[in-house]
Amino acid sequence: MGEPLGFRCVGCGRTYRPWGHDYLCPDCGPVAGALDVVYDYPAFARGGIEFPRVGKSSLWRYDPLLPVGEEFAVPLRSGGTPLYALPHLAQELGLGGLWLKDDTLHPTGSCKDRGTAVTVAAARRLGRPALACASTGNAASSLAGFAAAAGVPCYIFVPKGAPSAKVAQLVAYGATVFRVDGTYDEAYTLALAACEKFGWYNRSDGQNPMVVEGNKTAAFEVAEELGWEVPDFALVSVGDGSVVAGIAKGFRELRMVGLTDGVPAVYGVQAEGAAAVAEAHARLRRGEPVLPARGEARTIADSIRVGEPRDALRAVREVAATGGGFTAVGDREIVGAVQELARRAGVFAEPSGAAPLAGLRRLLAEGTIPRGARVVLFITGSGLKDPQGGLAGLQEPPVIPPDLRAVEEALG
Ligand SMILES: [Zn+2]
């Protein structure tokens, strides 16, 4: 296991001793005080770094750059998801290469299992008896599943509008679920207060530094699968910002330890009705204060329906360091992307999971992504979690009598 050198505040840059604080820099507080786990990168660059094949294919093989060892992990698999090449669509779009990182294939159906795996392992290492988080749905179902595997109690706060499939997962995993009559942002604040009062270990995005440590392994897997050649662009949807920050950090770390020569320009894709991180990034570029980052939260893509992104500062800093940026797409484009991804690639994503494809079309049309570029889209959540979310405009299949003539008629 790679023992971290320290936990560094994203806002003020102060580095605390590893594990000295569970969550935030006490001087900077929420959002500004997110802590980043730092390793001895120069030592790895000098001495070389190897990722041994431990156990099954999972994120635990990146042990040297993880803060907790596999001995604390629960048996549920995390990481080791496929990277699919889409040569036909790449050609159609004028790209030099196009890949999907299919993180829908996780035990609970979303990329959140990466951050959860590391967070739950950390909780076990620290001896924390109970877990909790606020979530739009995916981080919640992820934590509930991993807590069940760990055999520890789990307390979940979701907005009452969370899709029923995600709530069904929570109930099935046996979590104690609070459906909050309010927005995700209100559920988040309530979870914070409850964790403080009852001493639960909080997995919420932007709060717990372990989450990004898991999220970054998606970038490790992509780079490794491409032979340590990074793509030109990497696109991922953005709600709180912890996933995009993790992916950008992962590519940054690989370059710092000398495994890759560069980083892709990482682009965060938001919904037009919930684009507070994109707006924060625009302020950064104008030289204005990034925080506070707040805005409206209206989109069909429930996983990125966030008005007060809790990891906004880390997200804009990490993305800016890659030379990337943010874009925002409309719900209609997101629904189109769900259907295109399903029909062209056989990957059924939830709306937020397909949003990067909509973002790609937007960035190509603007000329931000040039012809010939090599692009990876991170597909973050399964369509089975919100099966109706991406089907707008599609016809429901007709019901026919059990009769071959009816089949012939239906075929026209
Ligand atoms: Zn600070």
Rounded to the nearest whole angstrom, what is the distance from the C-alpha of residue 18 to the centroid of ligand 1?
A: 15
Rounded to the nearest whole angstrom, what is the distance from the C-alpha of residue 30 to the centroid of ligand 1?
A: 10
Tell me the whole-structure pTM to 2 decimals: 0.96
Rounded to the nearest whole angstrom, what is the distance from the C-alpha of residue 178 to the centroid of ligand 1?
A: 31
Q: Report the run of H or E that residue 90 belongs to, with start and end.
A: helix 87-93
Rounded to the nearest whole angstrom, what is the distance from the C-alpha of residue 412 to the centroid of ligand 1?
A: 67
Rounded to the nearest whole angstrom, what is the distance from the C-alpha of residue 26 to the centroid of ligand 1?
A: 7
Q: 223 with 257: CB under 8 angstroms?
A: no
**Which residues pair with residue 15 across a beta bridge?**
8
pLDDT in tens, 99-140: 999 999 999 999 999 999 999 999 999 999 999 999 988 999
d(CA 312, CA 259): 28
Q: 159 with 136: CB under 8 angstroms?
A: yes
Rounded to the nearest whole angstrom, what is the distance from the C-alpha of residue 32 to the centroid of ligand 1?
A: 7
Measured N-to-C along each axis, helices 217-225 and 242-256 cross at an angle, to the nearest 10 degrees, of: 50
Q: Which of 156, 104, 138, 175 is nearest to 348 (CA)?
A: 104
Rounded to the nearest whole angstrom, what is the distance from the C-alpha of residue 20 to the centroid of ligand 1?
A: 13
Tell me which architecture the domain covering 83-109+211-385 has in CATH.
3-Layer(aba) Sandwich (3.40)
Question: pLDDT category, 56, cuts 50, 70, 90?
Answer: low
pLDDT in tens, 228-252: 999 999 999 999 999 999 999 999 9
Rounded to the nearest whole angstrom, what is the distance from the C-alpha of residue 336 to the centroid of ligand 1?
A: 42
Residue 388, pLDDT score: 85
- pLDDT of 1 above 60: no
Rounded to the nearest whole angstrom, what is the distance from the C-alpha of residue 209 to the centroid of ligand 1?
A: 13
Rounded to the nearest whole angstrom, what is the distance from the C-alpha of residue 46 to the centroid of ligand 1?
A: 30
Rounded to the nearest whole angstrom, what is the distance from the C-alpha of residue 15 to the centroid of ligand 1?
A: 8
